[in-house]
Structure 1
Amino acid sequence: MEMNYLALLVAAMSTLVVGFVWYHPKVFGTMWMKESGMTEEKIKGGNMLIIFGVSLLYAFLISLLLQTIVIHQMGAYSAANNIPNIDPSILQNYMNAYGKTYRTFKHGALHGFLAGLFIILPVIGTNALYERRSFKYTIITGGFWIVCFMIMGGIICGWV
């Protein structure tokens, strides 16, 4: 099973697009700034090229792992590939029969949603507790990542 790096890159880039919308002042930006303690001065003080570049790198790393969650065949492929004394045609026959099963945007978005809800939201929520951030902050930031995981999962799984 080959990795589609273009799909992973597009999925990673989608987080920047979602972020531009999600954190716009007319959406959740103003509320997020208040809840996170962010100020206009802090925003203007950062190197946006580095921030966006590293954000894209992190999102690409997320997409590498997310594909194993949203594409079921990756587990079967990695479990059976290159096992000594196993006929490789068994794996090939399996991939020929089921390699494209459940490979839709909708299916990937569902698994992205589940990963965001049950992995990312608890991580952000735990950090928010120790950082003494509000529940609003947790919902805004967690919600952003849930939406990103849905879109990323959809792109990765649906890109056939």
Structure 2
Amino acid sequence: MDFNFLALLLAAFSTLIVGFIWYNPKVFGTIWMRESGVTNETMKGNNMIAIFAMSLLYAFFIAFTLQFLVIHQFSAYSATVDVKNVDPSILKNYMDVYGNTFKTFKHGAFHGIFTGLFLALPIIGVGALYERRSWKYVLIAGGYWIVTCTIMGAIICGMK
């Protein structure tokens, strides 16, 4: 299986676009700042270029991992690669028949939303419990990742 690096980069970049909208003061930004304890003064003292660059790098890591959850063909590939006594034509035959099955934006969004709900949201929630964050914080930060994983999954799975 080949990796679609353009799709991974676009999916990673989509996190910044969603973040600009989601964390805008007119959407959830003001509530998030209050719930997280961030102020305008603390935001001004940071190197935003470095923050956006690291955010993009982390988002690429997420996109790279997410592709294995939203594209079923990776499972077929991993089941046959480097396995002794397996005829290599099995993967070729599978890909000839099912190569683009379920490789749609809709299917990627389907798996992306579940990844956001059942992976990202619980990770945010557990961290928030120990950090003594409010449920508003969990819903805002977790909601961001649910929406973002949905969009990332759609991009990754839909771009052939």
Q: TM-score, normalised by structure 1?
A: 0.98
The alignment's C-alpha RMSD in Å is 0.7
Q: Aligned partner of 2:59: which letter?
A: A
Unaligned runs of 5+ in 2: none
SS at match of 2:85: coil
Counterpart CA distance in 1 for 2:125 and 2:86 is: 45
Report what 2:134 is aligned to.
134
Counterpart CA distance in 2 for 1:69 and 1:6 is: 18
Q: Aligned partner of 1:13: which letter?
A: F
Counterpart CA distance in 1 for 2:46 and 2:106 is: 37
Report what 2:97 is aligned to.
97
SS at match of 2:26: helix
Report what 1:44 is aligned to.
44
Q: Displacement of 1:130 after TM fit?
A: 0.7
Note the 1:7-18 alignment, pairs <5 A. Answer: 7-18=7-18
Regions of 4+ moved over 6 Å? none
Instruction: Give per-residue Cα distances to partners, 1:109-134, cap 9 Å, x unaligned.
Output: 11010011001101100111110110
Q: Aligned partner of 2:155: which letter?
A: I
Q: Displacement of 1:82 after TM fit?
A: 3.0
Report what 1:25 is aligned to.
25
Unaligned runs of 5+ in 1: none
Q: Displacement of 1:99 after TM fit?
A: 1.2
Instruction: Give per-residue Cα distances to partners, 1:37-94, cap 9 Å, x unaligned.
Output: 0100011111001000000000000011000000011011111123222211111010
Counterpart CA distance in 1 for 2:112 and 2:127 is: 21
Q: TM-score, normalised by structure 2?
A: 0.98
* Residue 60 of structure 2 corresponds to residue 60 of structure 1: yes
Report what 1:81 is aligned to.
81
Counterpart CA distance in 2 for 1:21 and 1:77 is: 37
Q: Aligned partner of 1:85: which letter?
A: N
Range with greater deviation from structure 2 (135-144 or 70-79):
70-79
Range with greater deviation from structure 2 (62-71 or 80-89):
80-89
Name the % identity: 63
Counterpart CA distance in 1 for 2:123 and 2:85 is: 41
